[in-house]
A and B are shown apart, each in its own frame.
Chain A
Amino acid sequence: MLNIRNLHVKLEEEDKQILKGVDLSVEAGKVHAIMGPNGSGKSTLSYVLSGKDGYEVTDGTAHLGDIDLLDIEPEERAAAGLFLAFQYPVEIPGVGNMTFLRTAVNAQRKARGEDEMSAAEFLKVVRARARELKIDADMLKRPVNVGFSGGEKKRNEILQMAMLEPKMCILDETDSGLDVDAMKLVAEGVNALRNEGRGFLVITHYQRLLDHIKPDVVHIMADGRIVKTGGPELALEVENNGYADILAEVA
């Protein structure tokens, strides 16, 4: 599904190498987790994959199926089935959440040559999905993420994911700023979307999110590379011993 080979990335504005040869493959139906200390390059990886400005790929490739992600615009990556749940969802005053969702859903459908969703059909689906995530009608009407609590913002990300039905979901520190109840709700939303055709890449600092979203594979990232890969037990090892032991081991 997602294949990253030898990915090297530096900041565009300064001569600072962030990713130094990332190799990673996420298969359809699987959940991969990336853990790692601050500054290891986890968020940069998610931004580069989704096409944010400010980064320069100096080497390597990233494909979603047959599609060369690095060669196309952010909106084309989205239409191809890539979704990034932001660590810090952006507030957009003046744009209604509902308008935003419908514009996004229909823009993707149009890009894929599919029929647009009618207003009535859209409303039906979005209401059902929102209910599952305990997102009320008021949150749908309000401007995108404006005045939302941390938990509401993250639930809104998952709602977008549910509406857009991407093939490959990247969750960038979705647990940050969430209390236990909010995290459970978000995790349930994600788990409901797990299926054979969909891959997940869950980026997190802490093991606790992975108690709720059970990964198949866990990667440890440090200094711009994947330094260790293992099963769910690797996350527990980090939880118990921190990163120091693992980093010492691979150094």
Chain B
Amino acid sequence: MSATAEKQNATEARIAGLNLQTDGWSASTRSDAVARLRAMGLPERRDEYWKFTRPDALTQADAPQAALFDAGEAALFEGTDTLSVVFDDGVFNADASDPLAMDHLSIERLAGAGADIHWAKGVYGVLEARGQTPVPRPLATLNTAFATDGVLIHVTGKAPKPISLVYNHSDEASDAILHHVIKLDAGAELTVLENGPAAARFNKVMEVDIADTATFHHVRAQGRDHERRAATHLFARLGTESTFKSFTLTVNGRLTRNECVIELTGDDAIAHVAGACVGDGDFHHDDTVFITHDAERCESRQVFKKVLRNGAVGVFQGKILVKAGAQKTDGYQISQSLLLDGDSEFLAKPELEIYADDVVCSHGSTSGAIDEEALFYLRSRGVPEALATDLLTLAFLAEAVEEIEDEGLRDVIVDRLEGWLERHRG
């Protein structure tokens, strides 16, 4: 595959100002990534995979500015006991971070890891490269080539507390590229939290390699800056009887594209990916998910809920690919939008591609408004209309939010959703 001249030019313009690291353990992976990127070119609006989301702002040479936003509230997971790693506009903040040490795991910075880290070399850019077939994801390849920092976490047992990645935004023109690599050995367990606006423009990749019987939980909140833009990729590879559960809350943001690419390679593995987003006005949110079943008796669930008002746009592209031999696959996919007015829009492209003959796969996609009967019922009991609408909106989001297993983390997310709904009443 080779990119058109137009794409080549756009790609060269984008990478001209970026610094390619030529020493250290990741150098060869990075130069390979540059070659791969040049071959495919950055996405443009005519690409089928970008039919519903204009990639321009994500691919242009300079990041569009994003005004800073003071949320006026405590950081999201502040009440949770975590090991916190802080990045300001993509730059590691040692003073604000906890010491990078915890039982049953090693954690290092991508930028600091000068030594030859064998385990990381086996994952960094590897899952990303695997995720390029059958659909190219050039922004992730760009990230592998030019990521400036990130964390490398190798988990050997049950981590005693979550690792919290905090992304602050304090520069209106910041353009951050972070790349995290997480490897869980057999039986290991880890929860990773992510939170914050990150930068004016944020390109982030997280690769998670989950060995047999290991468990990975991920709870992410993208908020609350209105003008931020982000393209994120989450690549996961699952071994036998392993578990992967990821939930993302997105509030505000001019443009967010979250891609999640999951490969079930061992039998009896479980992968759940869920998202709740709320947008009011200039808001475009795209969830693009690709789950490949390549082993027997695996379960995958995709649950995406979007609340949209005042012209906000929601996109869902979700695919379940069941390879020949992936018998007894249990796949579920639901994407729904609650349109709080007539100006908002939800674009969905659910896909199933199945080559095994003994599988259960279901998918559904709906768009709807607040249920008037339920609204009247609540009001007839004395619940004011605005509060009743909030209750019904939270109820709509519940199926996605309930994918968060940890009750404490779930409460934190529900609390934030309540706050947002209260501020954005019609």
- Chain A positions within 8 Å of B, measured between CB atoms, are 50-53, 73-75, 77-79, 83-84, 86, 89-95, 99-100, 103-105, 107-108, 111, 143, 160, 164
Contacts and interface: CB of A to CB of B under 8 A. Distances in A.
**In the complex, which of the residues B373, B380, B381 has the most CB atoms of chain A within 10 Å of its own CB atom?**
B381
B392 to A, nearest CB: 7
B378 A100 contact: yes
Contact of B383 (A83, A91, A103): A103
B15 to A, nearest CB: 46
Contacts of B399: 94
B163 to A, nearest CB: 31
Given A75-B381, A83-B380, A95-B391, 11 more contacts: A52-B376, A73-B384, A78-B379, A78-B381, A92-B374, A92-B378, A93-B395, A103-B391, A104-B378, A107-B384, A108-B382
Interface string B391-421: 1101111110000000000000000000000
Given A51-B380, A108-B382, A90 B387 contact: no
**In the complex, which of the residues A84, A103, A108 has the most CB atoms of chain B within 10 Å of its own CB atom?**
A103
A23 to B, nearest CB: 24
A66 to B, nearest CB: 19
B372 interface: yes
Contacts of B398: 93-94
A100 B374 CA distance: 12
Contacts of A105: 382
Contacts of B385: 73, 75
In the complex, the 9 A-B pairs of residues with the closest C-beta atoms, listed nearest first: A94-B395, A78-B382, A108-B382, A104-B381, A90-B377, A74-B379, A94-B398, A75-B379, A95-B395
13 contacts: A51-B379, A74-B376, A75-B382, A75-B383, A78-B380, A86-B380, A90-B376, A91-B374, A94-B397, A95-B391, A95-B395, A100-B378, A104-B378
Contacts of B396: 94
A197 to B, nearest CB: 18
A92 B392 contact: yes
Interface residues of B, number: 24
Contact of B377 (A53, A92, A93): A92
Interface of B: 371-374, 376-385, 387-388, 391-392, 394-399
Contact of A160 (B376, B381, B392): B381
Contact of A73 (B372, B379, B394): B379
Given A94-B398, A103-B391, A84 B372 contact: no
Contacts of A111: 382, 384
B381 A164 contact: yes
A44 B391 CA distance: 27
A158 to B, nearest CB: 13
A33 B29 CA distance: 82
A95 B392 contact: yes
A50 B377 CA distance: 10
Given A75-B385, A103-B387, A103-B391, A90 B379 contact: no
A100 B391 CA distance: 9
Given A52-B376, A92-B374, A94-B399, A79 B394 contact: no
Contacts of B391: 95, 99-100, 103
A53 B376 contact: yes
B373 A164 contact: no
B397 to A, nearest CB: 8
A50 B392 contact: no
Contacts of A73: 379, 384-385
Contacts of A78: 379-382
